[in-house]
């Protein structure tokens, strides 16, 4: 790994790294926040944060104001990029923001030319955790969270890998991508026209499953002034599926909040505390 930068913050360290990804066949960048507890020989659990469309590893780390809360609870934060990047990595031919670079949707693509590089599901669930646990003083306990497209990723990855994580949370997630324009464009482009392949990347469809290895705690926050709420996010679909399946989901709607990092920074403290209860259980 190549260290790109490091900054002291709230007694811990924020660091950015570049490494060669085997699953994405390109260089990938990620950021990690290591709280001060590691300096006392303690291995800390990890919260993986998945960002939304157009973002990279820097957006959350610079805008969410998470470091104090992570230090308070002794949790490391890992923020990967949202997609592969670099020379030779396929992009939307028209340069659209909702597909291609910055819009990996946390799937394993099967369609050319994206299948070679766009394997973000395997990157998040396998390659990156192995790298983190090998090179940093972290434990194997981890939780997952995200925003918008990243909320979609957090929910689908957490539901499909419930033995690997302790908890799931999301801000304004895309919960039913098979039924919204962003999701339909991404899933058809990355996975093709066979819609049965889309279902494993749709949180609402996954929530309809009748059995899980275990039911993880789930927390979702949504602003009711979110400009994407009705057309793209549709949280009611997910909540209805959860209710029918007897799956308790902690959901809060917040008056006047939109889709921005102003919203995330307002409630990130509660999300860190939520995950801390699960990660720090004996």
Q: Would you name the residues annotated as active-site residues?
A: 148, 226, 259
Instruction: Count CA atoms within 13 Å of residue 126 on its CB side.
Output: 11
Pairing of strands 26-34, 2-9: unpaired
- Interacting residues of 169 by C-beta distance below 8 A, sequence separation 6+: 143, 144, 145, 154, 218, 219, 220, 221, 271, 274, 275
- Both tokens of residue 65? 């104001």
Chain center to CA of 236: 20
Of 81, 76, 79, the residue nearest 21 (C-alpha): 81
d(CA 176, CA 174): 6
* Residue 112: how many other CB atoms lie within 10 Å: 9
- What letter would DSSP give residue 268? H
**H/E element, 45:** strand 44-50
The length of the chain in residues reads 282
């Amino acid at each position: 790994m190549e260290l790109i930068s490091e900054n002291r913050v709230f007694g811990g360290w924020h660091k950015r790294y570049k490494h060669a990804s085997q699953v994405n066949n390109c260089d990938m960048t990620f950021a990690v926040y290591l709280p001060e507890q590691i300096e006392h020989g303690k291995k800390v659990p990890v919260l993986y944060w998945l960002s939304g469309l157009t973002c990279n590893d820097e957006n959350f780390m610079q805008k969410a104001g998470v470091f104090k809360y992570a230090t308070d609870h002794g949790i490391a934060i890992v923020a990967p990029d949202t997609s592969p990047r670099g020379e030779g990595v396929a992009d939307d031919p028209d340069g659209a923001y909702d597909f291609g670079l910055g819009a990996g949707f946390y799937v394993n693509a099967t369609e050319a030319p994206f299948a070679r590089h766009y394997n973000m599901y395997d990157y998040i669930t396998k390659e990156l955790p192995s790298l983190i646990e090998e090179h940093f003083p972290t434990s194997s306990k981890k939780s997952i969270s995200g925003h918008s497209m990243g909320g979609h990723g957090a929910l689908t990855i957490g539901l499909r890998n419930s033995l690997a994580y302790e908890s799931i949370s999301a801000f304004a997630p895309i919960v039913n991508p098979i039924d919204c324009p962003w999701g339909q464009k991404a899933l058809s482009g990355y996975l093709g026209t066979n819609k049965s392949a889309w279902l494993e990347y749709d949180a609402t469809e996954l929530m309809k499953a009748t059995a899980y290895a275990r039911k993880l705690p789930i927390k979702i926050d949504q602003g009711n002034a979110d400009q994407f709420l009705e057309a793209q996010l549709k949280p009611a679909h997910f909540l209805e599926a959860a209710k029918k399946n007897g799956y308790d989901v902690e959901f809060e709607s917040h008056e006047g909040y939109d889709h921005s990092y102003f919203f995330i920074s307002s409630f990130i403290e509660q999300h860190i505390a939520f995950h801390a209860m699960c990660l720090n259980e004996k």
